[in-house]
Amino acid sequence: MSSHSQYYQTPRADYIVPITSVPTTPSFQPSNGPANPNPPSHTSALEEKPSQLEHVRTALGLHPHPPVSDDHLQQEHHQLLWSQTRLALREFFAEFFGTFVMVMFGNGSVAQVLLSSGEASAPGGNGYGAYQSISWGWGIGVMLGVYVAGDSGGYLNPAVTFSNCLFRRLPWRRFPIFFLAQFLGGFCAAGVVYANYIAAIDNREGDGVRTVPPSKTATAGIFCTYPQPFLPRASMFFSEFIASTLLMFMIFALKDDSNLGAGQLFPLMLFFLIFGLGACFGFETGYALNLARDFGPRLMSYALGYGGQVWSAGGYYFWIPVVSPFCGCVFGGFLYDVFVYTGDDSVVNSPWFGNRRVRERVFPAGKRVEERFEKV
């Protein structure tokens, strides 16, 4: 499911502070004498480590300066090895744990509803939750995940990250590390949900038995989506495509301050968006919308013993929640920027979609005119 997020918000630029601006402890200077030639050792450490940190972050595709408030950056504990490691990988950890939280709540809600179905001990005597409980779980998971990953942008979804690279000039060099963090977050969260519910899964399916839909006792649907058996392949793809289109279109609308925008209420509005998508478009394919929410947990379920049917079920449906969200999110972002958005940070509002090389090749005479004006 799944941008605070450009799911969900752009990194907080006001919190990006050059590390080199951190004031170092001045060497002691006697009132009537030269500066101390042997300043305290931690001063040189603060002066040396920033350049090394910037080098590491740049190599990882991140901004050289981590998104940390100035007050925090000046504290002495940032000289410690783990503090330096955390600064180097801050956005990676943010996206990892943001996606982790999202999938914990989402998969956890599916597990509780499915495994408690018909449980007479529940209030009402018919299990601990209904389908709408799942929409609540995913909506809350996305909202809280965005709060965890706010400093990285809170994308939580490779397709949303990709669309922000394409339409909002998020540097492409950040896509690989964000993608990896989001995938691993979903993968690990699925493992924790399985560990928590393993006894309930055994109770439903039998000790060591693990099945996938359309088995009547299947529990593989806790971790990833499976289509309704009557759906043709085109309908599977279109169901995910239209939901992903709505997702990205609305994310851009909620983040558009030149329009009404959601401002500080953005995470809460995301909750309503995800809840609405689940309530309106969840029946046919389970509204995956997100490779990290589907492929990562699917791979975990395969590793946990659900077998090769996690890939072959639904006529090898597994590739649709991987590809369709990218197509849908790109289309949704394109629609919003073409028909609504007026900001100059969108490539849609740039000549030739911001591709100067294409413009120069198509109109070489125009390039020469531009160069002539630049000389003047």
> What SS3 state is found at 126?
coil
Q: What is the DSSP letter of 306?
A: I
Among 122-136, 156-170, 181-195, 263-277, the minimum mean pLDDT is found in: 122-136
pLDDT band at 61 (very low <50, low <70, confident <90, very high): confident
67, pLDDT greater than 50:
yes
CA atoms of 108 and 308, how far apart (whole Å): 23
Residue 191 CA to residue 188 CA, distance in Å, equals 5
Measured CA to CA in angstroms, residue 97 lies from 32, 84, 175, 189, 277 at distances of 54, 19, 17, 9, 23
| pLDDT recorded at residue 18 | 36
Whether the pLDDT of residue 278 is over 70: the answer is yes
The pTM assigned to this predicted structure is 0.81
Residues forming a β-bridge with 16: 67
55: confidence class by pLDDT, cuts 50, 70, 90: confident
Whole-number Å distance between alpha carbons of 334 and 250: 12
User: What share of residues in the chain are helix, strand, coil (percent, to 5)?
Assistant: 65, 0, 35
pLDDT, one tens digit per residue, over 104-149 is 999 999 999 999 988 878 787 778 989 999 999 999 999 999 999 9
Using alpha carbons, select from 246, 240, 245, 242 the residue that is nearest to residue 324. Answer: 240
Evaluate if residue 262 carries a pLDDT over 90.
Answer: yes
Q: Identify residue 265 by its one-letter amino acid code.
A: L
The CA-based dihedral angle spanning residues 18, 145, 347, 328, taken in that order and rounded to the nearest 10 degrees: 160
* Residue 235 near residue 283 (C-beta atoms within 8 A): no
Q: What is the mean pLDDT of the chain?
A: 84
Biggest CA pair distance of the chain: 89
Q: How far apart are CA 36 and CA 179, in angstroms?
A: 49
